[in-house]
């Protein structure tokens, strides 16, 4: 099956945006995003993953902005950052722009029993450079451009190893809902399924792909509480300074 990201944004989303503009929703919002939207995103996650508290959710002006903010919050020049590749180039470039030393761990192309070529992540190869002097591991799963999806078995091993070595995991999940092989809930499994709230895990997502909203520039981050107000909040205040979209309460007539 081929997925396309270029059909128009669904009409109900456009109508809600038009109604919001007409209602005068055009002013500054709280830095970390409208509380109701953060709560709605947190409430949507348990249907897919373990529950997440709304104060761990930050709304950002796109997935790529979420990736840059996360990197700015975490990396110092010369930090070692391990990135699983091939990957959408921005994930490597963002680290380099901030002066980090990027080490790539390459997926391998292997043939399965039917002779079909599939991308595979060798755990041993990945874990080797993940030592205590590594600042972060960056993974994009489901992966652009390879379509590789991390297995549940790898998900069980990687966070335990990173926790032991104090390594941050930055997980780009913008394609988490674009899966075609009958995964439960139509969503790829995530480290969010197993992580504790204080784990050094930052998960990036976006409305671009799953809601066909590429031009709208709207994403979100799930991060541990320690990273929220003083790191991500400070950076958002000095960049986009809050994103407008919010959840509108239903009117009593049931409309709106």
Ligand X SMILES: Cc1ncc(COP(=O)(O)O)c(C=O)c1O
Which of 29, 101, 151, 214 is close enough to bind ligand X by CB under 6 A? 214
* Nearest-approach distance from CB 150 to ligand X, in angstroms: 13
Question: Smaller CB distance to ligand X: residue 48 or 65?
Answer: 65
Q: Does 140 bind ligand X (CB under 6 A)?
A: yes
C-alpha to C-alpha distances, 66 to 27, 116, 231, nearest whole angstrom: 21, 35, 12
Contact 83, 138 (CB under 8 A): yes
Residues contacting 96, CB < 8 A, separation 6+: 102
Residues contacting 120, CB < 8 A, separation 6+: 107, 108, 109, 110, 148
Question: Smaller CB distance to ligand X: residue 62 or 190?
Answer: 62
Question: Smaller CB distance to ligand X: residue 14 or 226?
Answer: 14
- CA pair distance 95, 104, nearest whole angstrom: 12
Q: Does 239 bind ligand X (CB under 6 A)?
A: no
Q: Count other Cβ atoms within 10 Å, centred on residue 213.
A: 20
Q: Does 190 bind ligand X (CB under 6 A)?
A: no
* Nearest-approach distance from CB 57 to ligand X, in angstroms: 15
Which of 208, 220, 221, 227 is close enough to bind ligand X by CB under 6 A? 208
Tokens standing for 192?
A: 């969010």
Contact 75, 98 (CB under 8 A): yes
Q: Does 33 bind ligand X (CB under 6 A)?
A: no
Residues numbered 51 to 110 that lie near ligand X (CB under 6 A) are 62-64, 88
Which of 33, 159, 219, 245 is close enough to bind ligand X by CB under 6 A? 219
Q: Is the previous residue joined to 155 through a cis bond, with omega within 30 degrees of 0?
A: no
How many residues bind ligand X (CB under 6 A)? The answer is 12
Q: Does 174 bind ligand X (CB under 6 A)?
A: yes
* Nearest-approach distance from CB 191 to ligand X, in angstroms: 16
- CA pair distance 179, 189, nearest whole angstrom: 10
- Residue with the closest Cβ to ligand X? 63
- Pairing mode of beta strands 134-140, 117-120: unpaired
Binding positions for ligand X, rule: CB under 6 A: 62-64, 88, 140, 144, 172, 174, 206, 208, 214, 219
């Amino acid at each position: 099956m081929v997925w396309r990201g270029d059909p128009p944004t669904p009409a109900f989303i456009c109508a809600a945006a038009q109604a919001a503009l007409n209602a005068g929703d055009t002013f500054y919002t709280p830095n970390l995003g409208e509380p109701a939207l953060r709560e709605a995103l947190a409430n949507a996650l348990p249907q897919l993953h373990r529950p997440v508290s709304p104060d761990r959710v930050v709304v950002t002006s796109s997935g790529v902005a979420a990736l840059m903010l996360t990197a700015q919050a975490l990396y110092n020049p010369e930090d070692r950052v391990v990135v699983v590749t091939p990957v959408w180039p921005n994930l490597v470039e963002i680290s380099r722009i901030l002066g980090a030393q990027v080490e790539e761990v390459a997926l391998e192309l292997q043939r399965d029993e039917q002779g079909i070529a599939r991308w595979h992540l060798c755990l041993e190869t990945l874990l080797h450079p993940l030592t205590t002097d590594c600042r972060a591991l960056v993974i994009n799963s489901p992966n652009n451009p390879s379509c590789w999806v991390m297995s549940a078995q790898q998900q069980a091993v990687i966070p335990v190893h990173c926790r032991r070595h104090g390594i941050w995991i930055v997980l780009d999940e913008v394609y988490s809902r674009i899966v075609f092989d009958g995964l439960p809930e139509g969503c790829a499994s995530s480290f969010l399924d197993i992580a504790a709230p204080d784990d050094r895990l930052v998960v990036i997502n976006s409305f671009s792909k799953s809601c066909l909203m590429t031009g709208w520039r709207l994403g979100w981050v799930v991060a541990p509480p320690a990273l929220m107000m003083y790191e991500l909040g400070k950076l958002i205040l000095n960049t986009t300074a809050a994103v407008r979209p919010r959840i509108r309460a239903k009117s009593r007539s049931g409309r709106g």
